[in-house]
Each structure stands twice: as structure tokens, then as C-alpha cells.
Amino acid sequence: MVLEVTIPAGGGTFDEELKKLLSNKDKLVAKDVGDGRNQYQVEIQKLKDKMKAYKKSGKAVKGEITSFRKLLKTVKKQEREGKFDRGAEDKTKKKLRKKMMDERDFSKKGGVHAGTDADREAKFHQEMMDDPEIKEIKQKAKKQKSVHGSR
């Protein structure tokens, strides 16, 4: 039995390279290149150029992501689903994201016209999210869940 293994040239897939850049984003943004850009911007541009050259070379396999926009979209989707964690982010950013999700304006959905049922529902939902009593009930439920979940 013969097992054939193919290793991509160039040190890994574009997916891995982008994830590495996102994980080190805080450090790279702090480094100034000198031409008005930071190191993160330079590395992202190099990745975009590499992807473009790979696509033009004709080596791209059908179904493989060769567009930077699509790649970034899939990596961010993986991050939302919990399949990828940047690791570089601290607890304060996660708290801020949670706070932003709690405070989001549900009336700003696309395609909702003023005075429609969807608009009234969105306004009602936003009022519920802003109600301090409901926030307190949510916090109590969360505390109870954490107490009961640690058994």
C-alpha cells in the first residue's frame, strides 16, 4: 500500500496565513513601516498579491478559495462559530463585543419599512432589550446558570 502526501509549497494554505496574521494583528499594527502604513497592512497586501499570483498561475484547484474577500469572510465565520480563536484578543474586547450585541438596534434591519409589523416588532424588541428590569432578570438567570452549571 502506497500513501501519497501532497504538501503545499509556500509554507501552508492562505487560510492558515490569514489566521496567523489575525492572531498577531495587535503586534503588527503597532509596528510602523515608515510609509504611513503599519506592518499588518503590508502583510495583508503581500497575502493578497500571493493569492492573486496563485490564481493567475493556473494551479488553483476547483472549489479552492482564491479571493481574499471570500477567504476573510470564511475565516470570520469560523471565528463566530467558535472554530477559530485569534487568541490575541483580551477579555475586555470580548466584553465590549457582548455589550454591543446586547445594545444593538433591532430596528435597523434591512428592508424594514416604517409603520409595518416588522418595524413595530423591532421597536418592541429594542424596548425590551433596553428595559433595566429585563436586564436584571437576565443577569440573575445567568448567575443561577453559572452556579448550577458548576456542579
Per-residue pLDDT averaged across 11-38, rounded? 86
For residues 29 and 95, membership in a common domain is answered with no
For residues 15 and 62, membership in a common domain is answered with yes
For residues 27 and 40, membership in a common domain is answered with yes
Q: Are 31 and 15 in contact (CB under 8 A)?
A: no
CA 115 to chain centre: 34
pLDDT higher than threshold 70 for residue 24: yes
Domain boundaries, position 119: 91-151
For residues 68 and 15, membership in a common domain is answered with yes
- The β-bridge partners of 38 are 32
pLDDT higher than threshold 70 for residue 18: yes
Which has more confidence, 21 or 4? 21
Number of domains within the chain: 2
For residues 54 and 80, membership in a common domain is answered with yes
pLDDT higher than threshold 60 for residue 7: no
Helix orientation angle between 14-23 and 68-81, rounded to the nearest 10 degrees: 60
The C-alpha cell of 30 is what? 503597532
With respect to residue 2, please indicate whether it lies within any of the assigned structural domains.
no
For residues 80 and 140, membership in a common domain is answered with no
For residues 122 and 112, membership in a common domain is answered with yes
